[in-house]
A = this chain, B = another copy of it.
Amino acid sequence: MIHQKSIKNNYHHGDLQNALLEETIKIIAEEGVASVTLRALSKRLGVSRTAPYRHFSDKTQLLTHVAIIGFERFRKHLQVSKEQRNNTILKQFQLMGAAYIQFALRHPSYYKLMFSEPLLTENRSIALEVASNASFNQLLDILKQCQQAGVLKNDDIERQAIFIWSNLHGFCSLILEGHLPLKKQQQEDAIVYIQNTILQGIEAA
């Protein structure tokens, strides 16, 4: 048996851990999370099928790490709207809502993985919880600012955030799960309607 890999310095990949994460993301984007297979993944990277086990204890942990990266990118994506300081705080808040939906619809498989339940319930990962909470905190922060500026009701911040998050997550999920077969224009109209209707429930009188 000839190890075609062992010709020379190919035996060690160099940075397999990151390569695995990036390639997993690619597969997810191309074919969906169901097509992520340790064997297919390894083949694409030119390593053996068990090589990933030197970097992740099992497949779930690999996917969990991908989800964590997803949440980090998600958080950054949301944060951009806050950095537009020439806008009013309320406008920033609404931009964040739009950014939320935009991310979910642009990276559907990514978003679905991040919110797929076995990762958080069956196979709890503290790091994933932290990453998820960091995104949630983006929302909490801007809500707090809005309340302080007097543009939103002084309701309990957490409850207000849950309300908004439920709204956005539910809308994105229904679309990604195929329960809302909307045409593009209908979708955009629905987004505007949802944003306005959310606001009516929470804006200061």
Contact = CB atoms under 8 A, between A and B. Distances in A.
Contacts of A124: 178
Nearest to A181: B129
A73 B76 CA distance: 41
A24 interface: no
A173 B173 contact: yes
Given A34-B118, A117-B112, A166 B178 contact: no
A102 to B, nearest CB: 16
Given A121-B178, A171-B166, A155 B193 contact: yes
A99 interface: no
B171 A162 contact: yes
Given A163-B193, A194-B162, A171 B170 contact: yes
A171 B120 CA distance: 16
Interface in A95-124: 112, 115-118, 120-122, 124
Contact of A163 (B32, B156, B162, B197): B197
Interface of A: 32, 34, 112, 115-118, 120-122, 124, 132, 136, 155-156, 159-160, 162-163, 165-171, 173-174, 176-180, 189-190, 193-194, 197-202
